[in-house]
Homo-oligomer: A and B are copies of this chain.
Amino acid sequence: MSEVQLKDALDALKSTGVRITPQRHAILEYMIHSTAHPTADDIYRALEKTFPNMSVATVYNNLRVFRKAGLVKELTYGDSSSRFDFVTHDHYHMICSDCGKIVDFHYPGLDEVEHLASHVTGFQVDYHRLELYGTCQDCIENPAKAQ
């Protein structure tokens, strides 16, 4: 099933005139198979075995290409590096304020919020981002190393 996702993503890129390079293929594949929310550096380190000469700039460049194509979302937090998330179906993020763990969860229908906001602000709304912050069970049971 992730094969289909990969093929769809590659087709989507091709149709907008983006060349398919081995690096792009590998980055996309990694993003799709990754259940975590990798940073650019995570991706770089995971792929440097297969692409010993790959530059970290390539990772950043292509993540930007994918983001512009709507294939990938960038999640930014205060201190550290951005995390990137392959866009599948709509889901939101539950984030642990202590250890930084991110868990996906699904919730239907925040379309209503988009409609209201569009009406009130006059914006044309494209998408939204919802994140919940709290403490995960591990950190509740073991409140040792808060950041």
- Which chain A residues have a beta carbon within 8 Å of chain B's beta carbons? 74, 76-78, 82, 92, 94, 96-97, 103, 105, 107, 110, 113-114, 116-118, 120-137, 140
Contacts A110-B130, A122-B136, A129-B132 aside, 14 further interface pairs with beta carbons under 8 A come to A94-B117, A94-B125, A103-B123, A105-B116, A113-B132, A123-B134, A123-B135, A123-B136, A126-B133, A128-B130, A128-B132, A129-B129, A129-B131, A130-B131
Q: Are A125 and B130 in contact (CB under 8 A)?
A: no
CB distance from A146 to the nearest CB of B (A): 11
Which of B77, B103, B113, B136 touches A107 (beta carbons < 8 Å)?
Answer: B113
On chain B, the residues within 8 Å of A127 by CB distance are 132-134
Chain multiplicity (copies): 2
A125-B117 contact in complex given A76-B78, A78-B74, A78-B76, C-beta closer than 8 Å: no
Which of B74, B120, B126 touches A105 (beta carbons < 8 Å)?
Answer: B120
On chain B, the residues within 8 Å of A126 by CB distance are 97, 133-135
A-B contact pairs, 24 of them (CB 8 A): A76-B77, A78-B82, A92-B117, A94-B121, A94-B123, A103-B123, A107-B113, A107-B117, A110-B130, A113-B130, A114-B132, A123-B132, A123-B134, A123-B136, A123-B137, A124-B134, A125-B134, A126-B133, A126-B134, A126-B135, A127-B133, A128-B132, A129-B131, A130-B130
